[in-house]
Amino acid sequence: MDENLKYVPQESLITMPKKVVVAFSGGLDTSFNVMYLTREKGYEVYAACANTGGFSPEQLKANEENAYKLGAKAYVTLDVTREYYDKSIRYMIYGNVLRNGTYPISVSSERIFQAMAIAKYAKEIGADAIAHGSTGAGNDQVRFDMTFLVMAPGIEIITLTRDMALSRQYEVDYLNSHGFEADFKKLKYSYNVGLWGTSICGGEILDSAQGLPESAYLKQVTKEGTELVRLEFEKGQIVGVNGEHFDDKIKAIQKIESIAAPYGIGRDMHVGDTIIGIKGRVGFEAAAPMLIIGAHKFLEKYTLSKWQQYWKDQVANWYGMFLHESQYLEPVMRDIEAMLEESQRNVTGTVIMELRPYCFSTVGVDSADDLVKTKFGEYGEMQKGWTSDDAKGFIKVLSTPLRVYYANHKEEGEKLEQEL
């Protein structure tokens, strides 16, 4: 035998299957991904469900069972609910963030954290690729792809539904033909349930002239009359509900949801511009987020200065915009978070709210940092920190710029008089 020839073990000639992590929700698109990549591509599929508070233990158990039925080599639940609150929700509360003044940015914010958890897991197991079930017509494709490109560079991104332009019926037929049957019939509505609200798509939402019927909402109205609720904040974070203290802020949010959702509070329709350029419309129900933001904003009116409120609102609006536009990883977001957190140093107290079917109203605030309570005076009643002459002098100085302007432009002043 030629000494230059070396023995090559036969097993080294066998190509190892590609290791792929599928971002698995248990829905139709991700179920198709698991089976197709396993059967048609021969890949070694790891199904990973990133939970940001929207899955019950029963749903997670069903996801695991189905993942293995679909052919996954392994299944894992990545619980990032705590991280989602600590690194996103609390800043949205600090900033009273509502997209277009309406939507508490539920899906937009949680997708980023799901994607980051998937990317981290993929790197930990040495995956060759990550697959997700986004279509080519929505925002989620941007949120997932951008996060994977930044957090898991070099790992291939697979998007079967987008790249193959798959129809829902094709995916259902494929799964059924290979022995996997589930309730994938085309429902009138599709839902995305999370800790920070539930989004609703489909049905009447596709017609701009229509609203959603009562039956479209997952949580039905079962309470009547009115009810007072007391929400306690400490440095901007929710820490108490009706006298019950919560160290776990997630449980506090869930407690508020259980109180307010039966009134149908937090329902609305959001219309806005998508990342891909078209306008989108989505219904939502978010009792706890809307009540918490409403109470928090009310408390800030008592405890922050005029300019603290003004500038915080400006940066909070940008924070919500960047979060929606898949820019959570932009470094300026950490700078905005630092400002938002610092702004909350005196936002401590209890807010009293009155709940009734479909709405709530603010009642009052009990706070040691209440700036309405001052020795300088009571608005509209009595001044204590200045004299009447002080007031007259202040008003005269304040009017100086206007008096200067109209003294030099008498014709404009005369025109205003004529129009009155």
pTM of the model: 0.89
The percentage of residues in the chain with a pLDDT greater than 90, rounded to a whole number, is 75
pLDDT at 164: 93
- Closest Cα to residue 231, out of 312, 348, 340? 348
* pLDDT of 262 above 90: yes
The percentage of residues in the chain with a pLDDT greater than 70, rounded to a whole number, is 94
- Closest Cα to residue 217, out of 196, 185, 189, 259? 189
- Range with lowest mean pLDDT among 67-81, 91-105, 274-288, 341-355: 274-288
What does the pLDDT look like over 314-332, one tens digit per residue?
Answer: 999 999 999 999 999 999 9
Report the length, in residues, of the chain.
Answer: 420
Rounded to an integer, the average pLDDT of 137-151 is 93
Per CATH, the homologous superfamily of domain 201-304+343-366 is Argininosuccinate synthetase, chain A, domain 2 (3.90.1260.10)
Task: Give the domain ranges of the chain.
Answer: 15-186, 201-304+343-366, 377-414
Rounded to an integer, the average pLDDT of 347-374 is 95
Cβ atoms of 284 and 197 within 8 Å: the answer is yes
- Range with lowest mean pLDDT among 11-15, 283-287, 402-406: 11-15
d(CA 80, CA 113): 7
Q: Where are the alpha helices (DSSP H) in 125-264?
A: 140-151, 160-163, 168-177, 249-260
The two domains 15-186 and 201-304+343-366 share their CATH topology (first three levels equal): no
Give buried/exposed letters for 372-410 (b at 16+ CB in 10 A, else e): eeeeeeeeeeeeeeeeeeeeeeeeeeeeeeeeeeeeeee
E runs forming strands in 324-395:
349-356, 359-366, 377-378, 382-383
For residue 120, name the pLDDT band (cuts at 50, 70, 90): very high
Task: Report which DSSP code applies to 99.
Answer: B
- Closest Cα to residue 291, out of 196, 217, 194, 191? 196
For residue 8, name the pLDDT band (cuts at 50, 70, 90): very low
Query: If you average pLDDT over each of 162-176, 201-215, 220-234, 265-279, which comes out highest?
Result: 220-234
- Closest Cα to residue 135, out of 319, 323, 278? 278
- Closest Cα to residue 25, out of 121, 133, 124? 133
Helix 332-342 with 306-324: angle, nearest 10 deg:
150
Rounded to an integer, the average pLDDT of 379-398 is 83
Task: Compute, in degrees rounded to 10, the torsion defined by CA atoms 114, 115, 119, 122.
Answer: 60
pLDDT at 137: 78
Characterize the bridge pairing of strands 267-273 and 359-366: unpaired
pLDDT at 1: 45
Rounded to an integer, the average pLDDT of 331-344 is 97
CATH match for 15-186 among 3.30.70.100, 1.10.3720.10, 1.20.810.10, 3.40.50.620: 3.40.50.620
